Structure 1
Amino acid sequence: MWPVVWTAMRTYAPYVTFPVAFVVGAVGYHLEWFIRGTPKPREEEKSTMELREERKLQEQVGMDSTQVLSLKEKLEFTPKAALNRNRPEKS
């Protein structure tokens, strides 16, 4: 008789274990939320790019956007290329 029972259990194991695992998982899930409490809604965190864009916009608020440096003024402060350091300057 035992070989018949073991064969039946082996054959029908998926049909028995899935509902048992499902019930155990559901009970565990609800028990965990009962212990932790109700979840509080979280606001979405902003990405690094969004934070950077907001910071840049805040910096621009007090500035006059029509007053910008010309390209000649910007180029005066750029460092010379490393390969041109030892060459004499042309006048």
Structure 2
Amino acid sequence: MLPVIFAFLRTYAPYVTLPVAAVVGIIGYNLEGFISDRYTPYQKSVEEKREDRLMEEYLTKDITKVDSLKERKFVPRSVFEKNVSPSLDTNETK
């Protein structure tokens, strides 16, 4: 009897595995929903964080302190200093 069942399963494997996979998936989905909580706390978006950081930086910056135009600190000495992230920018390069 067992070889007949295996022959049937081998022949009709696609028709047997789809319902079995669906049942296993439904059970797993419901079990996961029962075990875990689906609450995700609110976090600010990346854009909001960036806007807050830029606004804080703008408000704390001293407006009266301006670099001299004669020193040309705004001109990079090499191509590698052209687009440097503010976190990587140091006073040594200026």
Return the TM-score normalized by structure 1. 0.52
Q: Output the CA distance in 2 between the equivalents of 1:59 and 1:4.
A: 76
Residue 40 of structure 1 pairs with residue 30 of structure 2: no
Equivalence map 1:18-33=2 (5 Å): 18-33=18-33
State how far apart, in whole Å, the 2-side matches of 1:32 and 1:67 are.
58
1:61 matches 2:59: yes
Please, what TM-score do these two structures have when normalized by structure 2? Answer: 0.51
Q: Which has the larger radius of gyration?
A: 1
Gaps of 5+ in 1: 76-91
Greater relative CO, 1 or 2 (CA 8 Å, sep 6+): 2
Q: Please list every run of 5 or more consecutive structure 2 residues that lacks an aligned counterpart in the other structure.
A: 74-94
Give the ranges of 4+ consecutive aligned residues of structure 1 lying more than 6 Å apart after TM superposition.
none
User: Identity across aligned pairs (percent)?
Assistant: 48
Q: Deviations over 1:29-69 (max 9, x none)?
A: 111110123x113435544x864553232121254647632
Count of aligned positions? 75
* Root-mean-square deviation (Å): 3.6
Structure having the higher helix fraction is: 1
Aligned to 2:68: 70
